[in-house]
Amino acid sequence: MPPTLPIFSLEGKTCVVTGASQGLGTQILAAFALSGAKGAIVDLSQESADSTAADLKKEVKDAGLPEPKIKAYECDTSSEEMVTKTWDQIIKEFKRVDVLVTNAGVAGGTAAEEYDFKDWQRILDVNVNGTFLFARAAGKHMIEQKIPGSIIMIGSMSGSIVNKPQKQSAYNASKAAVNHMMRSFATEWGEHGIRVNALSPGYIKTAKTQGDEMEELSKQWVDMIPLHRIATPEEFRGTVVWMASDASSYLTGSDIVVDGGYTAW
């Protein structure tokens, strides 16, 4: 392994990542595994989660490192019953959890006056309630087991600004709620040595940002980004390892915005 500061190592730690079967979530768990961690993939599709687990094991082995322990779990993160069941399965398998990343989320948008309530509710159920349910389970576990863990909630720059030109009030509101939930949990759990932060990406190249319509939007976004490009999911590996590891031991209650400078204007 190339030399690096030992404080960034995740050796011996167990990391749980929701929504980890594609895009940013996959890259987060890959970064953890390459840093020495064991991992749990939580996703809506068991088949996708199993496939991602196999791919990640191969990536780590191809890097010349020991094959990591990675398990896949099917779960709708907005269901309290399923989250409780999945969390219990993870603890039974791994015995402890040191890091949680709540990455599962959905997007979507329409004009506010035309928003269907069911669509609005679905976005908040997944993005806000799903984050809460997993964070609550992790916080309780870490408090009971006296684990000075790290909880990373995936927010968005949309939690602090309003994007243009797309209309996405439900998504924006959900990510603003995640940011304030993060700060609230950080203040409550700090006395237990548990750190709670948010990683808020800007625009990322994923399967969801493909297609002719999204291509046209992407051109507009690039013009508003000081770095003049959209991020790749791989570019978040370093940031999330820092946030999960002891390298960020005094970081809590912080919203880490990684947006190519979009919100600096």
Residue 175 has phi, psi (to 5 degrees) of: -75, -30
pLDDT at 217: 84
- pLDDT score for 140: 99
- Residue 218's pLDDT is what? 86
The CB-based long-range contact list for 63-68 (8 Å cut-off, 24+ gap) reads 63/34, 64/1, 65/1, 65/34, 65/36, 68/33, 68/36, 68/37, 68/38, 68/39
pTM: 0.96
- Domain membership of residue 44 (yes or no) is yes
CA dihedral 169, 172, 177, 182 (to 10 degrees): 180
- Tens digit of pLDDT for each residue in 61-115? 999 999 999 999 999 999 999 999 999 999 999 999 999 999 999 998 899 999 9
- The continuous run of DSSP H or E covering 238 comes out as helix 237-244
Domain CATH for 87: 3.40.50.720
Whether residue 255 is contained in a domain is answered as yes
Q: What is the pLDDT of residue 259?
A: 98
Question: CB-side exposure of 123: number of CA atoms within 13 Å?
Answer: 19
The CB density around residue 193, as the number of other CB atoms within 10 Å, is 14
Please state the domain count of the chain.
1
Confidence of residue 216 (pLDDT cuts 50, 70, 90): confident
Which neighbouring-strand residues pair with 42? 18, 73
45 found inside a domain? yes
Q: Which residues are catalytic?
A: 156, 171, 175
pLDDT in tens, 220-262: 999 999 999 999 999 999 999 999 999 999 999 999 999 999 9
Residues β-bridged to residue 247? none
Residue 53 included in any domain: yes
Given this model, what pLDDT does residue 147 score? 99
For residue 166, the one-letter residue type is Q
Asked whether residue 5 is assigned to any structural domain, the reply reads no
pLDDT at 2 over 70: no
Residue 153 pLDDT > 80: yes
Give percent above pLDDT 90 in the chain: 91
Q: Would 37 be classed as within a structural domain?
A: yes
User: Which positions ≥6 away from 83 have C-beta within 8 Å?
Assistant: 75, 77, 130, 133, 134, 137
Q: What is the pLDDT of residues 14-52, one digit of tens each?
A: 999 999 999 999 999 999 999 999 999 999 999 999 999
Domain region containing 32: 10-259
Give the other-Cβ count within 10 Å of 246's Cβ.
15
**Residue 107 within any structural domain of the chain:** yes
Higher-confidence residue: 211 or 217?
Answer: 217
